[in-house]
Structure 1
Amino acid sequence: MTAQLSGPMVAPESGKPKNLIVLLHGYGSDGNDLIGLAPYWRDLLPDTLVVAPNAPWPCDINPAGYQWFPLELDREISRLEGSGQARPVITGFLEQVWAETGLGAADTILGGFSQGAMMALDAGLRLPDALKGIVAFSGGVISPETIGEELSSKPPVCLIHGAEDDVVPLGMSVRGGEALKTAGLEVRVHVSPGTGHGIAPDGLEVATGFIKGLAP
């Protein structure tokens, strides 16, 4: 049985959503960490529902938070094995929200930070129908060497990363972006100078412009 996700959400003022933004938090955090982005983005697209689900498993090092997958000593293996377990959970959540709202992939932007950004790309690029877009902060493509062979759809992608990130290597976004461009996707990569593992004002501005550009 697929794990069920829940978390904070911000409904559109009209009450009936025409667009959906789903935000996936980082390791050890929860949905409250990213739902604060709703005021920046919900008005860029008409009648947008913003949802920030908690990951399905308690965090190994922070029981008050959650994780999309555990972090073992070998981070590369952790990502490869863990993403395979988390992917169907995220896909199932999206399908559930779509069924409840009448929306679909074309109405949905999937975003995330750090581990959540990795999963937004991992799950979002394997959906059979293309999302409206994917925004990934401080994350990157888990397996850039093979992603071109594993794509199921080609949504526009925005990758944003701090130049001084000492938690998730900048190369994950840079190499991932190159791999996705080679596979034929429309990709924007932005590096925030002097920024560590976080979302800087310039990165937020780039993401906001990307989302604004997706408006009909």
Structure 2
Amino acid sequence: MSAALRDVRSSDWASASGSAPVVAVLLHGYGSNEHDLTGLVEPLGLEMPWVSLRAPLEMGHGGAAWFEITTPGNPDPEPIAETTDAVWGWIDEHVSSVARILPIGFSQGGFMASQLLRTRPERVLAPIILAGFVLSAPQPGDEAVAASRPAVFWGRGTEDRVIAEPAVARTASWLPLHTTLTERTYPGLAHGINQAELDDVRTFLAAHLPS
């Protein structure tokens, strides 16, 4: 799998990305594209360089995916490793080696945000997992994550029928054991993001980003 992922970048990317201490990485959901989550930048108050990456698997009609859905909520580890390496390949090429990565992902993108944390936790700051979940297989950084217990935001709707229940249960078990978790559920919300969640994420970022 090529690491040459397509992307959309913030207007200040060329001047700011080389010296910024934190760079936001937006990771869209299944069947969407790199333009989808750019609308979160303003409501979340992201005052940093950001990039929105396009997933590597083309689905047609403008959509893409980070991995194929085989067993819902339980993807195969090998393709996940390849996709995670592709994202890190893009980051290694385009982001300063001293910058921390702030991953913000929805659905499959939320899953990928957790993968960045679980593979190279020293590079990741305060992941935002929106309607996502974690992989069942152990990952290279899990022990380091458990030792440092980084801040993580995990939000989901109570009416979300897209993410399989075993994946939700797995995530509800794994995250509190490995991270300093801020968990929020939103009554009546299906597989999406609402204003209450945006407000909660903004509060979380204000607490955990460097001033």
Shorter chain as denominator, the TM-score bin is 0.7 to 0.9
* Mapping of residues 44-193 of structure 1, within 5 Å: 45=47, 48-59=48-59, 62-72=60-70, 74-99=71-96, 103-105=98-100, 108-143=101-136, 146=138, 150-153=142-145, 154=148, 155-169=150-164, 172-173=167-168, 175-183=170-178, 185-193=179-187
* Worse-superposed segment, 121-130 or 6-15: 6-15
Matched, 1:37 2:40: yes
Q: 1:188 to 1:122 in 2, by over 3 A?
A: same
- Deviation at residue 117 of structure 1 after TM alignment: 0.6
Alpha-carbon distance, 1:131 to partner:
1.4
Spell out structure 1 runs of 4+ moving beyond 6 A: none
Structure 1 SS opposite 2:135: coil
**Quick one: which amino acid aligns to residue 88 of structure 1?**
D
1:162 deviates by 0.7
Q: CA deviation at 1:148?
A: 9.7
Q: Distance in 2 between matches of 1:79 and 1:194?
A: 31
Identity %: 25
CA distance in 2: counterparts of 1:160 and 1:170, whole angstroms: 15
Q: CA deviation at 1:76?
A: 4.5
- What is the RMSD computed on CA atoms of the aligned residues? 2.6
TM-score by length of 2: 0.84
1:38-76 Cα deviation digits (max 9, x unpaired): 112344x4xx011111011202xx44211111112x225
- TM-score scaled to structure 1, two decimals? 0.82
CA contact (8 A) 1:10 1:38 kept: no
Distance 2:196 2:166 in 1: 19
Which residue matches 1:213?
Answer: 207
Aligned letter for 1:66? A
Unmatched segments (≥5 aa) in structure 2: none
Aligned mates of 2:169, 2:109 — CA distance in 1: 17
Q: How many residues align?
A: 204
User: What is the rounded CA distance, in whole Å, between the counterparts of 1:128 and 1:57 in structure 2?
Assistant: 25
Listed as ranges, the gaps of 5+ residues in structure 1 are none
Classify 1:170/1:189 alpha carbon distance in 2 versus 1 (closer, same or farther; 3 Å).
farther
Please state how far the C-alpha of 1:137 moved relative to its aligned partner. 0.5
Q: CA deviation at 1:30?
A: 0.4
